[in-house]
């Protein structure tokens, strides 16, 4: 009989999850925690982050919260240093933090463009920059970057988001090439529309009623629904674990068939 704990080889590992206080980040933290990973939630929402840690630890898993702005070089550098001091290692990095502004290039303000690119793309660069040496020092690791279906094809009224997520997809491939010799695997997960605070914020930006917006986002997909955060977390868990030990530089699309 197959022992799935041995197959995944996750127990005792340390994981960073950006945007970990809610949505896909929180669902992933819970799932990895159940696999006995020591999860560190990185977020700028301290109240929500601490609430999430309480929820995870009360379920019997191990979790910690670090306040971290992923657009800040110093914050990212210090977060990795704290992990090294606390755990002596970092095995999994889930670069998940992101924001969206539903505007075309004409209507975009420069500061909005900068915000989306800085959180969604620069944040991947900065945290990876400091995490990779620590991973390499301890024999390797797994980095999973959150892209999007709109990182693989264009979308309407989301120019900065499409640009940022397309950048994440190709940055993933470049990192996989550069750091494979350190036994560091780098992959990208591309969710379709998923019921998260970010998607609900899109509805508000577009002045649409949330329930009907969520329904319309899923009804035409082959599987007939939008995703749940746990749908995406399962994909992240696969890429973080040894079940994907020969998978790097790839894109895993989890979208209910939306791009099929």
Contact at 8 Å (CB) between 143 and 187? Answer: yes
Q: Which residue carries 């591309």 as its tokens?
A: 190
Extract the tokens encoding 53.
């840690």
Contact at 8 Å (CB) between 240 and 212? Answer: no
Q: Does residue 143 sit in helix, strand or coil? A: strand
Contact at 8 Å (CB) between 70 and 51? Answer: no
Distance CA 164, CA 113 (A): 9
Burial of 197 from C-beta contacts in 10 A (0-12 / 13-18 / 19+): middle
Distance CA 229, CA 44 (A): 19
The sheet carrying 92-95 orders its strands as: 63-67, 38-43, 14-18, 92-95, 141-146, 184-191, 251-254
Return the active site residues: 161
Which residue pairs, CB below 8 angstroms and at least 24 apart, start in 167-176?
Answer: 167/117, 167/121, 168/95, 168/120, 168/121, 168/124, 169/251, 171/121, 171/124, 171/125, 171/145, 172/145, 172/147, 172/249, 172/251, 173/249, 175/128, 175/143, 176/248, 176/249, 176/250
Distance CA 242, CA 234 (A): 14
């Amino acid at each position: 009989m197959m022992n799935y704990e041995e197959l995944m080889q996750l127990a005792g590992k340390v994981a960073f999850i950006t945007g970990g206080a809610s949505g896909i980040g929180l669902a992933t933290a819970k799932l990895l925690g159940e696999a006995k990973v020591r999860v560190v939630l990185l977020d700028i929402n301290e109240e929500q982050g601490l609430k999430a840690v309480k929820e995870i630890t009360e379920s019997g898993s191990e979790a910690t919260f670090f306040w971290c702005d992923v657009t800040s070089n110093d914050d990212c550098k210090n977060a990795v240093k704290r992990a090294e001091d606390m755990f002596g290692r970092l095995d999994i990095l889930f670069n998940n933090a992101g924001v969206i502004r539903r505007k075309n290039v004409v209507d975009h303000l420069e500061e909005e463009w900068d915000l989306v690119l800085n959180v969604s793309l620069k944040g991947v660069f900065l945290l990876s920059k400091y995490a990779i040496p620590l991973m390499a020092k301890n024999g390797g690791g797994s980095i999973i970057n959150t892209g999007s279906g709109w990182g693989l094809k264009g979308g309407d009224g989301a120019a900065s988001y499409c640009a940022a997520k397309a950048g994440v997809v190709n940055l993933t491939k470049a990192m996989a090439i550069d750091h494979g010799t350190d036994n560091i695997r780098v992959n990208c997960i591309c969710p379709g529309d998923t019921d998260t605070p970010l998607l609900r914020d899109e509805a508000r930006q577009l002045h649409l009623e949330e329930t009907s917006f969520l329904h319309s986002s899923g009804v035409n997909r082959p599987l007939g629904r939008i995703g749940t955060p746990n749908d995406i977390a399962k994909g992240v868990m696969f890429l973080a674990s040894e079940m994907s030990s020969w998978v790097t530089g790839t894109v895993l699309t989890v979208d209910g068939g939306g791009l099929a």
